[in-house]
């Protein structure tokens, strides 16, 4: 089984990013994967999100995706006033858009394809992947506030609204991270029961500090706290049946074997992060694939 994957398309950041989708599709016709996975951060705007998925309709392979933090953003407060929040986007709206556009949605239930199991969650952050070198400088409360020196803000503070069941309280990041970890564990258990030979875990947030870049420089390292959670990695490493993990979110490509798991990240990222003006070279580098 050949699996191609990418993340962090961010098509609503610039027209350049949206134009690249055609090049990604051309490249997929060359790779000819059996499975194509997008590991989150397509667009906060649901119309642009759907328009992007629709572009992949010419591909005959199975297509899967997990949502990223940008995908569950809402234009608060107008959305909140209408009763719309991130939980509804994640559990209802995005799955519906995926279904309409022939993408299997990862995040609510696992998928078993030709003996290979796919379990997925957006994941979240509980600050366990922070650079602990700065613990004397930043308290957990400072991370909860998502503001560095009151000047730089982690944008989830303004746009990610995970509300509780009755919609009257915003959940803490730690609660959301725990829920997403529990969901991943449940899906792996279910795939095990269904007789999967191997499992690929797909998350948007990062499960391992080892695949993050810590330059020991501020403010960069302040924002490492919002990259993912150790708990995600512990679940993955606790299951010998999981052979690969694909994530996104941090816009630096990496591939590393951690114990029995091949951990992969292959983000497109923002135009300012592209180190080449050559589109073919960029897509070749940022759209990855492997055989299982």
181 binds Fe ion (CB under 5 A): no
Task: Answer yes or no: are the C-beta atoms of 110 and 117 closer than 8 Å.
Answer: yes
d(CA 79, CA 17) in angstroms, rounded, equals: 26
229 binds Fe ion (CB under 5 A): no
- Distance set, CA 80 to CA 47, 67, 160, 165, 268 (Å): 19, 20, 11, 14, 31
Q: In DSSP terms, which residues pair with 62 in a beta bridge?
A: 35
Residue 68 sits in the site that holds Fe ion (CB under 5 A): yes
Q: Applying CB under 5 A, does 173 fall inside the site for Fe ion?
A: no
Q: How far is the CB of 194 from Fe ion (least distance, A)?
A: 30
Q: Which residue number, 191 or 201, has a Cβ lying nearer to Fe ion?
A: 201
286 binds Fe ion (CB under 5 A): no
Q: How far apart are CA 283 and CA 20, in angstroms?
A: 8
Single residue of 41, 126, 173, 221 touching Fe ion by CB under 5 A = 41
| CA dist., res. 20 & res. 280, Å (int) | 10
**The binder of Fe ion chosen from 249, 264, 265, 286 (CB under 5 A):** 249
Cβ proximity to Fe ion: between 68 and 95 the closer is 68
Q: Using the rule CB under 5 A, is 69 a contact of Fe ion?
A: yes
Strand-pair category, 198-203 with 152-153: unpaired
> Least separation, in Å, of the C-beta of 260 and Fe ion?
26
Q: Least Å distance between CB 43 and Fe ion?
A: 11
Site string for Fe ion, 73-112 (x = CB under 5 A): ----------------------------------------
Compute how many residues bind Fe ion; rule: CB under 5 A. 5
Residue closer to Fe ion, measured from CB, 40 or 117 = 40
From 37-45, 114-122, 208-216, 274-282, give the range in contact with Fe ion by CB under 5 A: 37-45
Smallest separation (angstroms) from Fe ion to the CB of 269: 7
Q: Report, in Å, the least distance between residue 203 CB and Fe ion.
A: 11
Chain positions 125 to 164 lying near Fe ion, rule: CB under 5 A, are: none
Q: Are 232 and 205 in contact (CB under 8 A)?
A: yes
Site membership for Fe ion, residue 8 (CB under 5 A): yes
Give dist(CA 218, CA 238) in Å, integer.
33
Nearer of residues 28 and 227 to Fe ion, judged by Cβ: 227
Whichever of 251 and 284 has its CB closer to Fe ion, that residue is 251
Cβ-proximal residues to 47 (8 Å cutoff; 6+ apart), any chain: none
Listed ranges 107-115, 247-255, 256-264, 283-291: which one lies at the site for Fe ion (CB under 5 A): 247-255
Task: Tell me which stretch binds Fe ion (CB under 5 A): 45-53, 62-70, 128-136, 161-169.
Answer: 62-70
Task: Note the residues at the interface with Fe ion (CB under 5 A).
Answer: 8, 41, 68-69, 249
């Amino acid at each position: 089984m050949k699996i191609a994957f990418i993340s962090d398309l961010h098509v609503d950041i610039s027209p350049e990013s949206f134009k690249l989708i055609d090049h990604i599709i051309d490249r997929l016709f060359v790779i000819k994967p059996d499975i194509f996975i997008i590991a989150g951060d397509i667009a906060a705007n649901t119309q642009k999100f759907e328009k992007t998925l629709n572009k992949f309709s010419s591909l005959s392979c199975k297509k899967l995706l997990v949502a990223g933090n940008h995908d569950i953003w809402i234009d608060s407060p107008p959305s909140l006033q209408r009763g719309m929040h991130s939980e509804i986007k994640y559990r209802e709206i995005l799955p519906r858009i995926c279904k309409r556009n022939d993408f299997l949605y990862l995040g609510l239930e696992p998928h078993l394809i030709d003996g290979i199991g796919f379990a997925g969650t957006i994941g979240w952050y509980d600050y366990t992947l922070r650079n602990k070198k700065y613990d004397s400088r930043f308290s957990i409360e400072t991370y909860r506030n998502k503001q560095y020196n009151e000047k730089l803000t982690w944008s989830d503070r303004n746009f990610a609204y995970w509300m509780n069941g009755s919609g009257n309280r915003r959940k803490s990041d730690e609660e959301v991270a725990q829920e997403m970890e529990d969901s991943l564990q449940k899906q792996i258990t279910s795939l095990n029961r269904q007789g999967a030979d191997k499992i690929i875990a797909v998350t948007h947030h990062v499960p391992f500090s080892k695949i993050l870049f810590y330059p020991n420089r501020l403010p960069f390292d302040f924002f490492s706290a919002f990259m993912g959670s150790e708990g995600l990695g512990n679940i993955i490493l606790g299951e010998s049946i999981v052979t690969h993990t694909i994530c996104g979110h941090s816009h630096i490509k990496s591939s590393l074997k951690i114990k029995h798991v091949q951990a992969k990240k292959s983000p497109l990222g923002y135009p300012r992060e592209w180190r080449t003006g050559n589109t073919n070279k960029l897509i070749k580098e940022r759209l990855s694939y492997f055989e299982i």
